[in-house]
Structure 1
Amino acid sequence: MKIEILGPGCPNCEKLEEETKKAIEDLELKDIEVTKVDDPAEIAGKGVMNTPALAIDGEVKFSGRGP
């Protein structure tokens, strides 16, 4: 599974990344790749207009707020 954190590095984006990694650890999930996407063109190319956003296996699950 591939999880992408989409955002320019704002405090909300950093918090989303922290919480995502903590959830993966707490749930003892394996084979999860977490990457951070901070390129505005790449973020917009995924249809995201508001950050932070989270995508799982290429599908944006939410944007513009935390989970």
Structure 2
Amino acid sequence: MKIKILGTGCPKCNQLEAVTREALQELGIDAEVQKVKDINEIMAYPVMMTPALVINEKVVLSGKVPGKSEVAALLQKAAAA
């Protein structure tokens, strides 16, 4: 599973990365997590606000920092697909 955190490095972007990594660890899912800070790369995705969470090249969340349970649900759904 490939995960990207889209954001320029703001505190919310860092918080989303931390929550995502915690959820992955608790679920025991092996994934490659990449932070995308380059604005041109971010603009290649259909997001209007950051931070955004991309799982396997699909934007699943943007514009907010979700709770760990919400991220875990998104990760489990992607892993089952």
Shorter-chain TM range is over 0.9
Scaled by the length of structure 1, the TM-score of the pair is 0.93
Cα distance in 2 between the residues matched to 1:37 and 1:3? 10
5+ long unaligned stretches in structure 2: 67-81
Deviation at 1:45, TM superposition (A): 1.0
Cα distance in 2 between the residues matched to 1:36 and 1:23? 16
Cα distance in 2 between the residues matched to 1:41 and 1:34? 19
Q: What is the RMSD computed on CA atoms of the aligned residues?
A: 0.8
5+ long unaligned stretches in structure 1: none
Scaled by the length of structure 2, the TM-score of the pair is 0.78
SS at match of 2:48: coil
Q: 2:50 is matched with which residue?
A: 51
Answer 1 or 2: higher relative contact order, Cα 8 Å, separation at least 6: 1
Cα distance in 2 between the residues matched to 1:55 and 1:24? 14
Q: Which has a greater percent of strand?
A: 1
How many residue pairs align between the two structures?
Answer: 66
Q: Which has a greater percent of helix?
A: 2
Percent of aligned pairs with the same amino acid: 50
Deviation at 1:35, TM superposition (A): 0.3
Runs of 4+ with deviation above 4 angstroms: none
